[in-house]
Amino acid sequence: MKPITDQRHIMLRVAEKQIESQEFATLFFNYALPFKPGQFIMVWIPDIDEKPYTISYHSKDRFAITIEAKGIFSQKAITLEKDDLVGIRGPFGNGFNIKSDDTVAVVAGGCGMAPLATLVEKLNKNTTFIHGAKSKEYILYPDRFDLDRLFCTDDGSFGRKGFVTELLENEIASGKSFDRVYTCGPEIMMYHIFNICEKHHIPCQVSLERYMRCGFGVCGACVCGKQVVCKDGPVFDSSALRGIKDFNTKALLKSGKDVNLAQYFSWRCK
């Protein structure tokens, strides 16, 4: 599927709101959206702003986005209710490359579960599913999937106390062989997952996050090294990641200023 680059907003009403936790809510829309797992849409709230969101639920005539309340836009978005209007553009970008007969691992960190959710629903049973977060409140969709999940949290409040990187290493050490690893979450986590995959010669696909404005590669706001995340990604494979010098190092602010990732994500949470 080629990315869609239609810049017209489609105005949709919220069909349903589902509270995931005190930190997350999911908004459902009754609309047939062509979509490949890993792609994103631009979501516009009139008089507020426009931001990119992945699709966290998808069916023939319905889709949803999951929102974490952390900045001005998301705090407004999470208060939307049934019949409220929003505008969408897209979907945009390149999604995950899926081979139905592969034996794979899916590694999710925190709200990185959202872009992986529709992927998981297309994978076969030969999937090792690892999901971590800083605490129980940040574990998305704990009861949603048919696949068994290996859970961990930083504070031990849900599942094993520890990190997803440790669980992936343990699975590999136990003798499991993977054709591919998919991951999304904090960039430092994905960087370590990528390095584990490189060490064991396993192809890896990651979903990167950068500040996006246009959604289709014109404005340059989301450049990461020589890659434009909204157009060339947001999903990148191992061969691309090896050449992205900004991966786990730096990103651009809205002003275009180059900063380290700690400064960038601190700004993104405001």
CATH number at residue 126: 3.40.50.80
Among 207, 235, 252, identify where a domain stops: 207
Per-residue pLDDT of the chain (270 residues; tens, 9 = 90+): 344 445 678 999 999 999 998 889 999 999 999 999 999 999 999 999 999 999 999 999 999 999 998 888 999 999 999 999 999 999 999 999 998 889 999 999 999 999 999 999 999 888 999 999 999 999 999 999 988 999 999 999 999 999 999 999 999 999 999 999 999 999 999 999 999 999 999 999 999 999 899 999 889 899 998 999 999 999 999 999 999 999 999 888 888 888 888 888 777 766
Going by the DSSP 8-state scheme, the letter that residue 162 receives in this structure is: S
Please provide residue 251's backbone torsions phi and psi, each rounded to the nearest 5 degrees.
-155, 170
Residue 150 lies in a domain: yes
Q: What's the structural domain count of the chain?
A: 3
The pLDDT of residue 185 is: 95
Among 186, 207, 228, identify where a domain stops: 207
Q: Are residues 44 and 121 in the same domain?
A: no
pTM: 0.93
Q: Are residues 100 and 159 in the same domain?
A: yes
Q: Determine the Cα–Cα distance for residues 119 and 4; give it in Å rounded to an integer.
A: 19
Asked if 196 and 165 count as a contact pair (C-beta separation under 8 A), the reply is: yes
Measured between alpha carbons, how far is residue 210 from residues 3, 77, 159 in Å? Answer: 18, 19, 30
Residue 14 lies in a domain: yes
Q: Are residues 190 and 142 in the same domain?
A: yes
Among 92, 118, 139, identify where a domain stops: 92
Residue 147 lies in a domain: yes
Measured between alpha carbons, how far is residue 263 from residues 211, 230, 249, 250, 270 in Å? Answer: 13, 21, 11, 9, 11
Q: Are residues 175 and 234 in the same domain?
A: no
Q: Are residues 100 and 166 in the same domain?
A: yes
* Structural domain range at position 48: 10-92
Helix (H, G, I), strand (E, B) or coil at 83: coil
Residue 203 lies in a domain: yes
The pLDDT of residue 70 is: 84
Residue 25 lies in a domain: yes
Q: Which residues contact 155 (CB under 8 A, 6 or more apart)?
A: 134, 135, 161
Count other C-beta atoms under 10 Å from residue 158's C-beta. 18
Q: Determine the Cα–Cα distance for residues 16 and 12; give it in Å rounded to an integer.
A: 12
Residue 3 lies in a domain: no
The pLDDT of residue 3 is: 40
Residue 224 lies in a domain: yes
The pLDDT of residue 6 is: 52
Q: Are residues 117 and 190 in the same domain?
A: yes
Q: Are residues 142 and 216 in the same domain?
A: no
Q: Are residues 62 and 36 in the same domain?
A: yes
Residue 5 lies in a domain: no
The pLDDT of residue 7 is: 63
Q: Which long-range contacts does 228-234 make (Cβ < 8 Å, 24+ apart)?
A: 229/93, 230/40, 230/52, 230/92, 230/93, 231/3, 231/92, 231/93, 232/94, 233/93, 233/94, 233/207, 233/208, 234/38, 234/40, 234/93, 234/94, 234/115, 234/207, 234/208, 234/209
The pLDDT of residue 5 is: 45
Count other C-beta atoms under 10 Å from residue 148's C-beta. 10
CA 24 to chain centre: 14
The pLDDT of residue 251 is: 87
The three-state (H, E, C) secondary structure of 180-240, written as one string: EEEEECCHHHHHHHHHHHHHCCCCEEEECCCCCCCCCCCCCCCEECCEEHHHHCEEEEHHH
